[in-house]
Amino acid sequence: MPELPEVETIKRSLQTNKGASIIKTEIIRPDIIRIRDYEPEFIQGLTIIDFKRRGKYLLIELTEDYKIAVHMGMSGRLYMMENETEIIEKHVHFVLYLDNGKKVIFQDTRRFGGIWLLRDLDMFFAKMGKEPLNRDFSAPYLLSIIKNRRIAIKTLILNQNLISGIGNIYADEALFLARIRPDREAGSLSEEEALRLSRAIKKVLREGIKNRGTTFRDYRDGNNERGGFQDHLQVYGKIGEKCPVCGNLIIRNRIGGRSSHYCEFCQK
DNA sequence: CGCTAGTCCTGTCTGC
DNA sequence: TGCAGACAGGACTAGC
């Protein structure tokens, strides 16, 4: 579930734990750890230097070059609790106890998410696509990756090896804003359309961050609080409702296996 | 290369 | 009220 704006929001809300040290790690479900470059007990006593984000991954950087990467999958949450508060929630798989009175818990109902105990981030992210909010993600870059591609434009922008961080909600919203049908052949976009789409992607992601992410059901930030961008969505989840631009009805179609929401009249 | 369908999971909602 | 089926913010794989 969490896409770039949600992971960015979680990251920002966890910053208060910078400088805290790890008292212990607790692993309730060992198979939630996808890669073990080191054993989890090894990071006891290390200090959190920073929280970062790459695509949909949240990164916890520790002293001595130890890192923890977290991916929320569809239903994952990463949030703080007071250390003395008993965990009664279901589906808690991993807990980091900190020396500032807090613990950070990873909870994931569907377990599509995971945790990577890493030492070499460069290798881990070698194939990741560009960050859409960085300056080097631009119309020329978008044109270069859509060139001669017959794949649906929506499927292409969901490919994390090309652009990292866009998920189903923000893909639909960006394509609506750019007035491009999600099932258009990527290579058929004009330069002007590519410019519109690159700008629309940045705009919806920035708005998503500004509104602290989109909570449909599961998403919560690092304080276990809901986002607000669900109140600003134009098409996602709006099947049968009026298009905010032309008043025709928003439809849903399956594109690349993903449920896709758009206006047939506004989006060409 | 790219498409579809299947897989990993649990929970919620809809229709009969 | 029960139950089957569809569907869900993701990502990877096999097979064609």
Within 7 Å: CB of A256 and strand B?
Answer: yes
pTM for the full predicted model: 0.97
Model pLDDT, residue A74: 95
The span from the CA of A64 to the CA of A237, in Å, is 45
Task: List protein-proximal bases of chain B (any atom < 7 A from a CB).
Answer: 1-6, 8-12
State which nucleotides on strand C lie below 7 Å from a protein beta carbon.
7-12
pLDDT digits (tens, 9 = 90+) for A248-265: 999 999 999 999 999 999
| pLDDT value at residue A228 | 96
Which nucleotide has the least CA–C1' distance to A151? B2
Kindly give the parts of chain A with pLDDT less than 70: 1
Supply the pLDDT for residue A239.
Answer: 93
Quick one: which of A3, A27, A29, A18 has its CA closest to A165? Answer: A3
Contact A103, A78 (CB under 8 A): no
Residue–nucleotide distance: A240 CA to C1 C1' (Å): 30
Q: pLDDT tens digits for A189-202?
A: 999 999 999 999 99
Using a 7 Å CB cutoff, list residues 175-194 of A near strand B. none
Which run of H or of E encompasses A201?
A: helix A191-210
Q: Identify each DSSP E strand in chain A by its residue range.
A: 22-27, 33-36, 48-54, 57-62, 67-71, 76-82, 92-98, 102-108, 114-118, 251-255, 258-262
Side-chain half-sphere CA neighbours of A3 within 13 A: 30
d(CA A62, CA A40): 12
Which of A11, A53, A56, A212 is an active site residue? A56
Q: What is the pLDDT of residue A47?
A: 98
A149 touches strand B (CB under 7 A): yes
pLDDT score, position A24: 97
The active-site residue out of A2, A5, A40, A182 is A2
- To the query of whether residue A258 is one of the catalytic residues in this protein, the response is yes
Q: How many angstroms separate the CA of A154 from the C1' of B14?
A: 28
